[in-house]
A and B are shown apart, each in its own frame.
Chain A
Amino acid sequence: MILTLVETDPEGAAIEVSLEAVSFARDISAAGNGVPVDVVVFGDVSGDLRGELAAYGVRKVHRVTGDDVAAYSGAGWASSIQQVRDAAGSVVVMAAGTDRGNELMAHVAARSGASMAANVLSFSGIAPFVVTRQVVGGAAMEEMNLHQRPAVFTVAGHAVEAKPADVAGDAEVVDHAPSIAPEDLVARVVSIAEPASGDDESGALTSARVVVGAGRGVGGPDKFGDVLELTELLGGALGVSRVVTSAGWRPHHEQVGQTGSRISPDLYVPCGISGAIQHWAGCSSAKTILAINSDAEAPMVTRATYAVIGDLHEIVPAINEEIRRRGYAG
């Protein structure tokens, strides 16, 4: 059996990258004589979620509940995943390459004496199991042997498409209320501060259809007026480079890149961003990139779909004006 962690959002729906991971699990199953694909979910499994997982070809949904897992703890949740695996006997344990996914798979691997491959893009064989994964923030790849059992890894975001299965699964819900050793509960979340209103853009950034980017080229903390206006006209979110957050011009949760958020909007409009490898790692999945930069040779320009060359403080206001002139912002 292949066991995939499915993470859910506050509404209880599976997050997109977890569905991608389940799709990846099906590909392994197809290459390995149809080993069943099971998932593990913490907390409630709504009818909708169960239906969706069935459409994704899932055989069993291992639902983990109980006081010990109500608050998050890396070791406690990993212990639960391991107990599910031991009960059901899985050869692969995997998750999406989210913060939680990477953390939990590292715990599972350390606990079972296995290797762990973070941010896998593809696999090239199952006996031996060889994966290709992202390294250097997505700028390079590494082929890695994962031949111990269980094979433990995470799937890089948007490495594969989330697609329902040709044949639906039963998605039979199996309940687990694991008992967890006290030492695995020592490091657990004791409180969560919900983002204050007006400061809740972090989630909005990763799911935005349009992201306007702002880099060093903006020139200073009080010079974001134009790009913020464009962001609003496009109904999008603002994403920035690390130079901008390091300088304290904008908060860190707006950072795009290797050490920030990974975005995948329909349109990304980077203004005054050079397109360093670590920034590119976070925005390469944008469907269309329209770069605004004074340097026609900047990597962001040469990699973009469209570009305008020049001073962003002249270009962006002109675009805002043109959008308004055509009646898009009454």
Chain B
Amino acid sequence: MVPPVSVLVCVKRVPDITEEIVLSEDGQSVDGRRSGFTMSAHEECAVELAVQAAGTGGGEATVLTIGDAEAVEQLRNALAVGCTAATHVVGEPFSFGPADVAREIAAVVRAHGEEGRAHDLVLLGNDAADTGDFQVGIRLAYELGRPVVNGASMVEIDGDHVVAVGEGPAGQETYRVPLPAVVTIREGGVEPRYPSVPGRLKAKKIPIEERQPVGEPKGGGRVRMTLPPPTPSAVQILGEGPEAAPAVVDVLEKLGVLSPGKAAQ
């Protein structure tokens, strides 16, 4: 029998940009009103791994976000794909720096522990898609005094340990760490599932725990965000369809990527 584990997975509501990016007037954030919002790709995978890890032993997967009222949308999306509980720390996300976010997550972990639902494993994304600070998970580990594995793409509970696997400079690296622990996730190891209709209906009924931040956010030192100047297109169209092939190979020859050595092979 696998003992049930409790996993906490932290997600951030971020603008869903694929084309033009728009900044807020004060330069403090990305304006997502036109593009819509999502959670980062890494976090979608973290949610999937949390659901899998909790599911194997009938445990709990709690999703957490620190964000404004709209961030409830991301919590509901995670509930719709199998998370069993949700916590919303209500705050304007752009005023929180990475150290603030880590402190707030740690406060929730401690509070839940005192309430008798301690989280054995906390999963986060490796980096958030908007501010890309690459550090909340590591700071959280120090706040909690727990070990942390960074950038894993697979996690599995093995008794009272977590086995985490990720890509390192020399190949695939495996960690085996005693619980409780923190792991940050990079996408690529699992396929996030799509919410089913029953899943969505069930998600609507799960109450969301609402909490206030425990501290005043200090911010992350941001002065302002800026966009690179638009570069005018200087593309040279070599032609349309297969007739352009000779022009393409002329360019390849000019660039010297077709060495005569290759011809001799």
CA distance A323 to B247 in the complex (A): 11
Answer whether residue A186 sits at the interface, using C-beta atoms and an 8 A cutoff: yes
A interface residues (Cβ-Cβ under 8 A, vs B): 7, 9-10, 72, 74-75, 98-100, 102-103, 106-107, 109-111, 115-119, 130, 132, 134-137, 139-147, 154, 183, 186-195, 202, 209-210, 233-236, 242, 245-246, 248, 252-253, 255, 258-259, 266-267, 276-278, 288, 290-291, 296, 299, 301-311, 314-315, 317-319, 321-323, 326-330
Query: Whole-angstrom distance from the CB of A25 to the nearest CB of chain B?
Result: 20
Please name the residue on chain B nearest to A287 by beta carbon: B255
Contact in complex: B251, A306 (CB < 8 Å): yes
Contacts A135-B130, A307-B236, A315-B241; is A143 near B172 (CB within 8 Å)? no
Contact in complex: B257, A322 (CB < 8 Å): no
Answer whether residue B42 sits at the interface, using C-beta atoms and an 8 A cutoff: yes
Q: Return 25 A-B CB contacts under 8 Å, by A number.
A: A75-B148, A100-B168, A102-B134, A106-B139, A109-B135, A136-B130, A140-B227, A145-B222, A154-B134, A186-B177, A189-B173, A195-B172, A236-B257, A252-B189, A267-B255, A277-B18, A277-B21, A278-B18, A305-B234, A305-B235, A309-B237, A318-B243, A319-B249, A322-B248, A323-B249
- The 8 A CB mask of B243-256 against A (1 = contact, 0 = none) is 11111110111010
Query: Whole-angstrom distance from the CB of B33 to the nearest CB of chain A?
Result: 16
Residues of chain A contacted by B245 (CB below 8 angstroms): 315, 318-319, 321-322
- Give the most central of B130, B151, B186, B249: most A CB within 10 Å: B249
Query: Whole-angstrom distance from the CB of B83 to the nearest CB of chain A?
Result: 21
- B170 partner, pick from A10, A234, A305, A326, beta carbons under 8 A: A10
- Tell me the interface secondary structure of chain A in the complex: mixed
CA distance A288 to B257 in the complex (A): 11
Contact in complex: A245, B188 (CB < 8 Å): yes
Query: Whole-angstrom distance from the CB of B249 to the nearest CB of chain A?
Result: 5
Residues of chain A contacted by B130 (CB below 8 angstroms): 135-136
List B91-106 residues whose CB lies under 8 Å from chain A. 97-99
Answer whether residue B36 sits at the interface, using C-beta atoms and an 8 A cutoff: no
Answer whether residue B147 sits at the interface, using C-beta atoms and an 8 A cutoff: yes
CA distance A318 to B239 in the complex (A): 13
Contact in complex: A141, B236 (CB < 8 Å): no
Contact in complex: B173, A119 (CB < 8 Å): no
A-B Cβ contacts below 8 A, count: 263
Answer whether residue B171 sits at the interface, using C-beta atoms and an 8 A cutoff: yes
Query: Whole-angstrom distance from the CB of A149 to the nearest CB of chain B?
Result: 14
Contact in complex: B263, A111 (CB < 8 Å): no
Contact in complex: A7, B233 (CB < 8 Å): no
Contacts A135-B132, A142-B131, A315-B244; is A187 near B181 (CB within 8 Å)? yes
CA distance A134 to B132 in the complex (A): 8
Contact in complex: A135, B265 (CB < 8 Å): no
Residues of chain B contacted by A140 (CB below 8 angstroms): 21, 23, 30, 225-228
- 20 further contact pairs, Cβ within 8 A, besides A72-B173, A140-B228, A189-B173: A75-B148, A106-B134, A115-B99, A137-B132, A141-B225, A142-B225, A146-B221, A189-B168, A193-B174, A194-B171, A195-B172, A233-B258, A242-B41, A255-B188, A259-B187, A306-B248, A309-B241, A310-B242, A310-B244, A319-B245
Contact in complex: A277, B172 (CB < 8 Å): no
Query: Whole-angstrom distance from the CB of A98 to the nearest CB of chain B?
Result: 8
Contact in complex: B235, A301 (CB < 8 Å): yes
Residues of chain B contacted by A288 (CB below 8 angstroms): 255
Answer whether residue B205 sits at the interface, using C-beta atoms and an 8 A cutoff: no
CA distance A242 to B30 in the complex (A): 22
Contact in complex: B135, A311 (CB < 8 Å): no
